[in-house]
Amino acid sequence: MTDTALTDRKNAAIARGVGVTTQIYADRAENAEIWDKEGRRYIDFAAGIAVLNTGHRHPRVIEAVKAQLDRFTHTCHQVVPYESYVHLAERLNALTPGDFAKKTIFVTTGAEAVENAVKIARAATGRSAVIAFGGGFHGRTFMGMALTGKVVPYKVGFGAMPGDVFHVPFPVELHGVTPEQSLAALKKLFAADIDPQRVAAIIIEPVQGEGGFYAAPASFMKALRELCDHHGILLIADEVQTGFARTGRMFAMDHHDVAPDLMTMAKSLGGGFPLAAVTGRADIMDAPTPGGLGGTYGGNPLGIAAAHAVIDVIVDEDLCGRANQLGSRLKQRLESLREKAPEIVDIRGLGFMNAVEFNDRTTRLPSAEFANAVRLIALENGLILLTCGVHGNVIRFLAPITIQDDVFGEALDILEASILEASTGSKVALAQSLRSK
């Protein structure tokens, strides 16, 4: 079966709304590498969109899931509970930022975690409005879409969004929005559009994911916490993409001196198995009545088992320290290319949550075309990359934090060659060809 034939089958059988970045059909994977059905090898700098901080098939994760398979795979925790769910909740209550009593619920996806965080905030405050930020991404369900600050492709064609959702600009000084301007926009919103006494929560990604890997400044996060406290508004940190060592700390909010009231988690929590969580202040989490939260597959035993192993790996292998080392190497390599590739306008990122942003060398406007050219050249040479950003001109790097040093070095060589080829229009010889391996 060729890739072309399988793509034809996919197009005939699967709705086109499920967009696909590559036409690679995975056959097997290990740590930071994927082999397709024809035996071609790729280095994975997407990691299932930040799901595999511990890599493909980490032995300890696989071992934990196999052991759980031999016991039971599903009871629905709301019908027949199990200790591993309780223990993981205890661990997240202890690991998440904030020196106060916490409680946790488990669901299946990041979008579901966000939906439940909004439900909990509304139940706890008796208010309905929620404020989010331009460029933010919070899921593809209806509330998730409403909160997401990007129209195409997430909102287009789906009609009216849920009400009482408002947006303000996220502070990105590269694009002319200072923290002071973002705060001023919030105050203007309170004066012109929504009484702050009707606002249940403000939701923010400490580092925007789909929006372009922009980190919220510490001064802004502190001011946001103070504003929420002043008006009795809950602060929700969406750590679906930033969590579990990606930013060089267990959570991105650990970079700040303030704690959120509620935190959403998913992606790398399950190490490749579907699992998501909401953790927050105990009194707030207890606001919904019994039966108001949960789901048939929420906290599936296999995902719970995987998550216990993921946390153990992060601690035992010091993946936070490893993330800082890898991110430093990546950013240094990109910085070395600035003079040769004038399209590079910014290099950024906490830990190993890094990005490079490109502008057109002539117009100096954001260039999605250049970013996509780099992505396609890299893919041809065996490196899987993802683009992001409101303008589509950012490449984000989400390789497993467990990536081997030699594989990482190989990936950096391909990345450099791809950027230079896109910039100069000339092929750059690689030291090795992945396709020969």
Tens digit of each residue's pLDDT, the chain (437 residues): 347 888 899 999 999 999 888 989 999 999 999 999 999 999 999 999 999 999 999 999 999 999 999 999 999 999 999 999 999 999 999 999 999 999 999 999 999 999 999 999 999 999 999 999 999 999 999 999 999 998 989 999 999 999 999 999 999 999 999 999 999 999 999 999 999 999 999 999 999 999 999 999 999 999 999 999 999 999 999 999 999 999 999 999 999 999 999 999 999 999 999 999 999 999 999 999 999 999 999 999 999 999 999 999 999 999 999 999 999 999 999 999 999 999 999 999 999 999 999 999 999 999 999 999 999 999 999 999 999 999 999 999 999 999 999 999 999 999 999 999 999 988 865 544 443 33
Residue 119: strand, helix, or coil = helix
Asked if residues 206 and 256 have their Cβ atoms less than 8 Å apart, the reply is yes
- The class (CATH top level) of 72-316 is alpha beta
Using omega within 30 degrees of 0 as the cis cutoff, is the peptide bond preceding 217 cis?
Answer: no
Token reading at 143: 């509330």
pLDDT value for 4: 83
Task: Tell me how far CA of residue 424 lies from CA of 138, 320, 337, 379, 421, in angstroms.
Answer: 37, 36, 12, 18, 5
How far apart (Å, rounded) are the C-alpha atoms in residues 114 and 120? 10
Q: In this structure, which amino acid lies at residue 271?
A: G
Token reading at 430: 């690689």
pLDDT value for 430: 58
| Structural domain boundaries in the chain | 3-56+318-436, 72-316
pLDDT value for 436: 38
How far apart (Å, rounded) are the C-alpha atoms in residues 7 and 178? 45
In this structure, how many other beta carbons lie within 10 angstroms of the beta carbon of residue 218?
13
According to CATH, the topology of domain 3-56+318-436 is Aspartate Aminotransferase, domain 1 (3.90.1150)
pLDDT value for 274: 97
Output the CA torsion sign for 183, 185, 189, 190. Answer: positive
How far apart (Å, rounded) are the C-alpha atoms in residues 97 and 102? 10
List % helix, strand, coil for the chain (3-state, nearest 5). Answer: 40, 20, 40
Task: Tell me how far CA of residue 161 lies from CA of 145, 156, 222, in angstroms.
Answer: 7, 11, 30
Task: Identify the helix (H) or strand (E) that includes residue 60.
Answer: helix 59-69
* Residue 173 φ then ψ, to 5°: -65, -25
* Residue 325 φ then ψ, to 5°: -65, -50
Token reading at 153: 């492709």
pLDDT value for 429: 59
pLDDT value for 202: 98
Half-sphere exposure of 54 (CA within 13 A, CB side): 29
Asked if residues 159 and 141 have their Cβ atoms less than 8 Å apart, the reply is no
